[in-house]
Structure 1
Amino acid sequence: MLNGPPAVRILIADDHDVVRSGLRSILELRAGWEVVGEAGDGRTALTMALALKPDIVITDYSLPMMNGVEVTRQVRSRLDRTEVLMFTMHDTDEIITQALAAGAKAFLLKSDAKQYLVSAIEALANRKPFFTGRLSERMLDCYLAKRTDKAAPLLTPRERIVVQLIAEGNSNKEISALLNVSIKTVESQRSAAMRKIDVNSTASLVRYAIRNKLIEP
């Protein structure tokens, strides 16, 4: 007897129970697709991904503890066979660019999930990228705009995750443990971020994080 194709093993990372439940209900209708785990924050998502080695990670951008871009970067650098779908409410040029630079091969808005989720997972399972037509146009526009804009990004990816963690109320010591870097490195990145965005207090940093969708208000 011939064996069928191997199961597609999927990990879901989103901080809303109802979103994870909705995704699971859609995915598990497909024969051969298996949701092997769910995570409610970025740190847990990365830990589970490294332990379970799923074929696909679906991650929200706005995760607590470690945002979806950092999860994507860590997964893609440490798990060669795991693809990532960035799944988010936001489709700003900056978020799209960050997701692609981190290694996400698919990008899907939550509002488009019902229509495109299955197609996105099928594409990733076959090692192909997936973007809706509207997002493809946005990506092209963003690329063309950056060709004429030589200004460097305001914050580095690591500075952005440090700002997010500060805005979520973590101390330098807690951030050091989460990111596995020294406290001195955290302090340096915190100072650099505050200097770049021209703020001088934690409250101003939090307002910046909310305004730029690093955290949910």
Structure 2
Amino acid sequence: MVRIVIVDDHAVVRSGLRQFLAATEDFEVAAEAATGGEVLALVNSTEADVVLLDITLPDINGLEVLKRIKLVQPALPVLIFSMFSEEEFALPALHAGASGYLNKDSPPAQILTAIRTVVGGGRYVSPALAERLLDGTIHAARRLPHETLSPREMAVLLLLSKGVPLTRIAEQMHLSVKTISTYRSRILDKLNVQSNAEITRYVLQHKLGPD
């Protein structure tokens, strides 16, 4: 039996998926989550074979949630299930560690195929997107500025966005204030911002917190 975690902030979507998957012989819904925070708490306590993850969540950007899931459960397949265009979001999702990308308008048979593919260790995109990728009509998507940050720079970014002073960050990370200041300079440069206030605005805009 394939155990699935459904992550979507719309109860009607979760309910529809649960009923649809319950009608199959080899799938069961192990857990549901409405926010990024909820699924991050679930992944370490729930036995699951695949996560169906929406990109648009109320607290944390879905792609950021994906990255955090892969940090703690690198072998757990994550299938992005979104209303957004494959052409715009599939490649960033795959680059971030997703095993596949599926549009919410996909026919039922395609949903089942996608789940079985990623659970079996494969990667999934729709036949239409696969054809366009092979034709070269879709090019690699540009990475968002924060996606160029190292894990340590991301940690500093989140602390700065909360107004934590450099000295406190240095203490928490067991590094010198000079090193943290260097990280801050790199962050400002990579995000093309000028101040801590702009860092906070960027983090809120892209839903990168909570850490």
Deviations 1:38-57 (A, max 9, x none): 11111211110111130000
Distance 1:189 1:88, change over 3 A: farther
* Number of residue-to-residue matches in the alignment: 190
Distance 1:45 1:200, change over 3 A: same
Q: CA deviation at 1:192?
A: 5.9
Query: Quick check: 1:154 aligned with 2:148?
Result: no
Q: Could you say what secondary structure the match of 1:52 adopts?
A: coil
Q: 1:30 aligns with which of 21, 24, 34?
A: 24
Runs of 5+ consecutive residues of structure 2 not aligned to the other structure: 165-171
Distance 1:9 1:208, change over 3 A: closer
Segment drifting more, 71-80 vs 16-25: 71-80
Q: CA deviation at 1:129?
A: 1.8
| Aligned match of 2:117 | 123
Q: Could you say what secondary structure the match of 1:87 adopts?
A: strand
Segment drifting more, 197-206 vs 7-16: 197-206
Once superposed, what is the RMSD of the aligned Cα atoms?
4.0
Specify the structure having the higher radius of gyration (Cα): 2
Q: CA deviation at 1:20?
A: 1.1
Q: CA deviation at 1:89?
A: 1.7
| Aligned match of 1:89 | 83
| Aligned match of 2:129 | 135
Q: CA deviation at 1:187?
A: 9.9
Q: CA deviation at 1:81?
A: 4.1
Query: Quick check: 1:100 aligned with 2:100?
Result: no
| Aligned match of 1:176 | none
Distance 1:122 1:152, change over 3 A: closer
Does the aligned pair in 1 maintain the 2:145–2:191 contact within 8 Å?
Answer: yes
TM-score, with normalisation over the residues of structure 2?
0.67
Letter in 1 for 2:42: M
Q: CA deviation at 1:118?
A: 1.2
| Aligned match of 1:18 | 12
Does the aligned pair in 2 maintain the 1:46–1:75 contact within 8 Å?
Answer: yes
TM-score, with normalisation over the residues of structure 1?
0.66
Does the aligned pair in 2 maintain the 1:55–1:81 contact within 8 Å?
Answer: no
Aligned-residue sequence identity (percent) comes to: 31
| Aligned match of 2:38 | 44
| Alpha-carbon distance in structure 2 between the residues aligned to 1:138 and 1:62 | 25
Runs of 5+ consecutive residues of structure 1 not aligned to the other structure: 1-6, 174-180
Q: CA deviation at 1:96?
A: 2.3
Distance 1:199 1:102, change over 3 A: closer
| Alpha-carbon distance in structure 2 between the residues aligned to 1:119 and 1:50 | 26
Q: CA deviation at 1:37?
A: 0.7
| Alpha-carbon distance in structure 1 between the residues aligned to 2:202 and 2:7 | 25
| Alpha-carbon distance in structure 2 between the residues aligned to 1:86 and 1:139 | 18
Q: CA deviation at 1:85?
A: 0.2
Distance 1:191 1:89, change over 3 A: farther
